[in-house]
Amino acid sequence: MTLAHFPRWPMLLDLAYVAVGIGSLTACWLFVKICDRL
Amino acid sequence: MSALGIYQILGFFLVILALTKPMGAFMARVFAGDRTFLHPLLRPLERLLYRLSGVREDVEQHWTAYAGAMLAFHIVKFVFVYGIMRLQGWLPLNPMGFSTGHAPANATPLTADLAFNTAASFLTNTNWQAYVGETTMSYFSQMAGLAVQNFTSAATGIAIAIALTRGFARQQMQTIGNFWVDLIRCTVYILLPISFVAALLFASQGVVQNLDAYTQVTTVEGAPQVIAQGPVASQEAIKELGTNGGGFFNANSSHPYENPTPATTFLQMVLIFLIPAGLAFTFGEMVRDRRQGWALFAAMSVMFLVGVLVAYGAEQRGNPMLSGLGVQTDATVAQPGGNMEGKETRFGIVQSALFATVTTDASCGAVNSMHDSYTPLGGLVPLFNIQTGEVIFGGVGAGLYGILLYAILAVFIAGLMVGRTPEYVGKKIEQKEVKMAMLALIATAFSILVFSAISSVIPFAKGGYWNPPGPAIANFNNPGAHGFSELLYAYTSATGNNGSAFAGINANTPWYNLTLGLATIIGRFLFLLPLMAVAGSLAIKKRIPVTSGTLPTDGGLFVGLLVGTVVIVGALTFFPALSLGPAVEHFLMKQGHLFSVMLRLPQGGPWL
């Protein structure tokens, strides 16, 4: 298999799930800021 | 319960008691940067890692910088392990060809949602597994992806606990340590050496360690069988020591290649409690009052012993409906009696109940028996253990910072009773600390209860993307109260970063993979970040002298208060949900109603 065999739909899904992962961890940084203010 | 069973439980506890002080004292020296007997061998490696990463071990961080470094590290880890899993078909050490066109017919596709769930799960020390290890993961994914997470997630938890302890130990300081230094010291001096020795011990007992393709054999009955192989011993060691719990094989520690003998079971349980118990002593050592550490240890021990005796008693009594049918359920020299469904005969009831209690007291999640097959009360113990926040020794690091959260609440409640400003270990517990403690508790309870509630009612079209079986409850193997227990256990386990499963629920669908993955992240970070804020707040404060008005926190009264706080907060938060699951199931069982797996005979026959 090569990258050419990698279907486009799963690649979009990959981007979405990676974004959810990175986004939720980044949101935790906002939580740090909230905890610092409280 | 038999005398032999009680002796096994007490014997295990005495071994933990004996190891607590040496382990705790050793960890205190490691994190203080003092010389240990491992320094001649490992100090060059530690210095090399500092040089390669550009970390200065003499520079400390404010709590927000410490938290920021930890979160940045986790973002990189998430992308790294996600990438390895999704690209495993192109990576080496994949003799079975998973994620390629040559994969076995029964291989589980490593889809994007499954990779997200697994990455989040291993990142957060949860190790919830919605996949079957031996039919999904290549050796490279297991070793370079998941095992690395096992080490780093364990080291992260311990680092946070040490940072919080520094908050109590220091005064008038803005910093709580350096995340990178704590991470490296923990990995180099604690996790790697013990894992190395434990892996050798496991291999000596028959745990496999190879990179071979799976073995094809013919059984004595003439049937073909595939026997999975892999680098199991090395993963088994950190799986238990780091309270990770993710099994190399689907059957986890009930698989003979992961846990072949009663001796390896005992060693696994000791490894699970070794660091969490030692950290209680480390706390006392670092705050220069060992009695404080022993008080935490005593509170954990009381809850552990009560839990294991309830679970063991319930499992040994077994199912009254079977004994009512004339089935011999008493222990005899020829059979263990009780409820042996889902348990290995080589472990019997006591080692199964003890393991189930240990693995859920700690946030480990390894299993050597199937919790789904426990009696209602036997299954309630693991569930309640996780719902208390896993503070009964707890996960590596997570147990200590969790019990310190409850200690803050306990002195706050005691302070309200007598009208004095609460103090703990010489630090005034004020508005900030109590707000943070409540925030941590509410965030985790919210995750468990809200996700469980949504999944109980959310409709999905059959064959759709999010949940192909249909509504979220269509994924249960059992109807009624037992099915609800399976669901509640899943979100409890994920949020509690435990990772054990009640089984009986097919969680490998995008809906469950996404929500359970998010639950692991919420349970990990929304619990520990407020406690890091507490660390920062406490480090600035002066230590105040003990007066006649100070509540002693190193005696029996405080231990009782602490245990009461853990149990009452857990009960108040989760009692309604528990009453709909295991509690109602227990009473229905007493009336002769069971929630067995539903099977339908062919040609539209009746449900069995």
Residues B567-605 pLDDT 10s: 998 778 888 888 888 888 888 877 777 665 444 444 444
The pLDDT of residue B400 is above 50? yes
Residue from the list A1, A26, A32 with its beta carbon closest to the beta carbon of B67: A32
ipTM at complex level: 0.89
Question: Does residue A9 sit in helix, strand or coil?
Answer: helix
Mean pLDDT for B81-97 is 95
Q: Which residues of B155-172 are buried (b: 16+ CB within 10 A; e: fewer)?
A: bbbbbbbbbbbbbbbbee
Q: With contacts defined as CB-CB under 8 Å, which chain A residues touch B115? A: 14, 17
Q: How many percent of chain B have pLDDT more than 90?
A: 76
What is residue B608's predicted lDDT score, i.e. its pLDDT?
A: 36
Residues B318-339 pLDDT 10s: 888 887 788 888 888 888 888 9
Residues 6+ apart with CB under 8 A from B384: B307, B570, B574, B578
CA distance B600 to B608: 6
Q: Residue B446's closest CA among B529, B522, B533, B362?
A: B522
CA–CA min distance A15, chain B (Å): 9
Residues B161-196 pLDDT 10s: 999 999 999 999 999 999 999 999 999 999 999 999
What is residue B581's predicted lDDT score, i.e. its pLDDT?
A: 83
The model carries a pTM of 0.92
Cβ pairs A/B, distance under 8 A: 80
What is residue B594's predicted lDDT score, i.e. its pLDDT?
A: 67
CA–CA min distance A22, chain B (Å): 6
**How many CA within 13 A on the CB side of residue B490?**
32
Q: How many percent of chain B have pLDDT more than 70?
A: 98
- Does B97 touch chain A if contact means CB atoms closer than 8 Å? no
What is residue B607's predicted lDDT score, i.e. its pLDDT?
A: 40
Residue given tokens 């009986």 in the structure block = B504
Instruction: Test B113 with A21 for CB contact under 8 angstroms.
Output: no
DSSP secondary structure letters along B343-394: B-TTTHHHHHHHHHHHHHHTT----SB-GGGS-HHHHHHHHHHHHTTSTTTT
Q: Which residues of B423-451 are buried (b: 16+ CB within 10 A; e: fewer)?
A: bbbbbbbeebbbbbbebbbebbbebbbeb
The pLDDT of residue B500 is above 60? yes
Q: What is the mean pLDDT of chain B?
A: 92
Residues B511-539 pLDDT 10s: 999 999 999 999 999 999 999 999 999 99
Mean pLDDT for B208-222 is 94
- Does A28 touch chain B if contact means CB atoms closer than 8 Å? yes
Parallel/antiparallel/unpaired status of strands B224-227 and B423-424: unpaired
What is residue B605's predicted lDDT score, i.e. its pLDDT?
A: 45
Residues A1-38 pLDDT 10s: 444 555 566 788 999 999 999 999 999 999 999 999 98
The pLDDT of residue B154 is above 70? yes
Instruction: Find the helix or strand (DSSP H, E) in which B449 lies.
Output: helix B431-457
Q: With contacts defined as CB-CB under 8 Å, which chain B residues touch A13? A: 111-113
Q: With contacts defined as CB-CB under 8 Å, which chain A residues touch B100? A: 1
Tokens in use for B378? 């036997």
Q: With contacts defined as CB-CB under 8 Å, which chain A residues touch B521? A: 24-25, 28
The pLDDT of residue B565 is above 70? yes
Side chain identity, residue B454:
I
Q: With contacts defined as CB-CB under 8 Å, which chain A residues touch B74? A: 25
Q: At what angle do helices B262-286 and B348-361 cross, to 10 degrees?
A: 30
Tell me which chain B residue has its CA closest to the CA of residue A12. Answer: B112
The pLDDT of residue B407 is above 80? yes
What is residue B326's predicted lDDT score, i.e. its pLDDT?
A: 82
Instruction: Test B64 with A18 for CB contact under 8 angstroms.
Output: no
Instruction: Test B518 with A24 for CB contact under 8 angstroms.
Output: yes
CA–CA min distance B549, chain A (Å): 29
Tokens in use for B319? 């199912």
**Distance of alpha carbon B97 from its chain centroid, rounded?**
31
More confident site: B372 or B102: B102
Residues 478-537 of B with CB under 8 A from A: 514, 517-518, 521, 525-526, 529-530, 532-533, 536
- Does B401 touch chain A if contact means CB atoms closer than 8 Å? no
